[in-house]
Amino acid sequence: MNYYSLNRKAPNTTFEDAVVRGLAPDKGLYFPESITPLEPSFFETIEDKSNTEIAFEAIKQFIGPEIPEDVLKTIVEETLNFDFPVVEINENISTLELFHGPTMAFKDVGARFMARCLGYFNKTNTKDVTVLVATSGDTGGAVANGFLGVKGVNVVILYPSGKVSDIQEKQLTTLGQNITALEVDGVFDDCQDMVKQAFMDTELTSKMQLTSANSINIARWLPQLFYFMFTYKQLKSKNKDLVFSVPSGNFGNICAGMVAQKLGLPIKHFIAANNANATVVNYMISQTYNPKPSVQTISNAMDVGNPSNFIRIQELHNNDFDTLKANLSSYSYTDDDTRAALLELYNDFNYVADPHGGVGYLGAKDYLKENEAHVVFLETAHPTKFLDVVEDVIRENIDLPPQIEAVMHKEKVAIAINSYDALKAFLLQ
């Protein structure tokens, strides 16, 4: 499989090169040259397959033959060594819990898969690779955990000071080894802009190999299609149209679900559930894409004013607005809306959700006002990662799971920066 740049000013390239580069030389996002649907029989018998078998069959066309099949099977198996349960909320709404991995966030799948792919490609490389990643919350911890101790890979994580939860901060600042955290005086968009600027800085890239572990990297982005298939496997017997409500920030997660749809997964529709950062919501109304600076909310992993992956979503729909609108609805919600959703889920259904899941639940409810389907909202992080918000809403104490307890009392180690020049100086030292 080869990949092309969505800026269409760079040569097509291999999976390995796309993973190692992160961004194309023309600074465009990489996109697969083709997406071949799986045989209908694959979905007809999906309940008879293990998660590893499903994931391997779904991903192999995007990677082979650059990683041998036996190695790829091992990578998939190691990536998916935790559960992906679907929990019924009511007759028409379920939630997919994506927080059973090591850092208790959906990004564990992409981070673990990418780390293992890069480790395979780097095993004979004498030159270190620096993974540069911006995080609005969960990406940092997942990437740090996924790449911890990987030979020949150094990880540098930029996060906005005071705008991630205490637990999220602990997960990305306490590991040490090959992981370095940079605390940025600014918002997530500032972190993301610094990362993009670094990739465009030829003085920097001529001296070191940079790649990204944000969802702009195909090896972080594509594996997220796995759990949409796992959901269908669990709900197939319901014989209802399946709709996904995805809490959306950089739009990589929902975009991966759309790739699963292209592979033949019978998904009727997608809902992009947003917080106050409503760039895509406004676009779906006006057809004018007008990114704005991000604003801080209690669902901080979605505090993105200019979502990088939306261009991939447009490409998947042939850059045709009407085609996209037929497949995607988008809603935005305030923090007060989100708190009300968390309380409703707890009081009415005895379910404790995190703020991102709360936004997804609201999207599911709004869609069902005018449509019939079974809607699955993604619960993208464990509620204890947002302990102060959730406990304040439901007025109950939540027990800390072992993954969270393990980092709570570790010492934070981070380097404060306030400009791109400071980032560049750190990278060059």
Q: What sign for the dihedral angle of Cα 367, 240, 80, 30?
A: negative
Ramachandran quadrant class, 293 (left: phi over 0; alpha: psi -120 to 50; beta: rest): beta
Do the Cβ atoms of 248 and 307 come closer than 8 Å? yes
Q: Which of 107, 163, 233, 385 is catalytic?
A: 107
Instruction: At 335, list the tokens.
Output: 């923090």
| Residue of 363, 365, 288, 295 whose CA lies nearest to 329 | 363
Locate tokens 């005086």: which residue?
A: 185
CA distances (Å), origin 160, targets 51, 182, 255, 264: 35, 9, 25, 39
Do the Cβ atoms of 308 and 192 come closer than 8 Å? yes
Q: Provide Rg for the chain, Cα atoms.
A: 20
Neighbours of 62 (CB within 10 A): 21
| Residue of 266, 245, 249, 269 whose CA lies nearest to 93 | 245
Phi, psi of 184 (to 5 degrees): -95, 130
- How many Å apart are CA 277 and CA 293, to the nearest integer? 9
- How many Å apart are CA 130 and CA 199, to the nearest integer? 11
Give bridge partners of residue 245 from the DSSP assignment. 271, 377
Ramachandran quadrant class, 104 (left: phi over 0; alpha: psi -120 to 50; beta: rest): left
Residues composing the chain: 429
CA distances (Å), origin 188, targets 135, 193, 216, 272: 7, 9, 15, 20
Per-residue exposure over 205-218, b if at least 16 CB sit within 10 Å of its own CB, e if not: eeeebbbbbbbbbb
Tell me if residue 163 is catalytic. no
Q: Which residues are catalytic?
A: 107
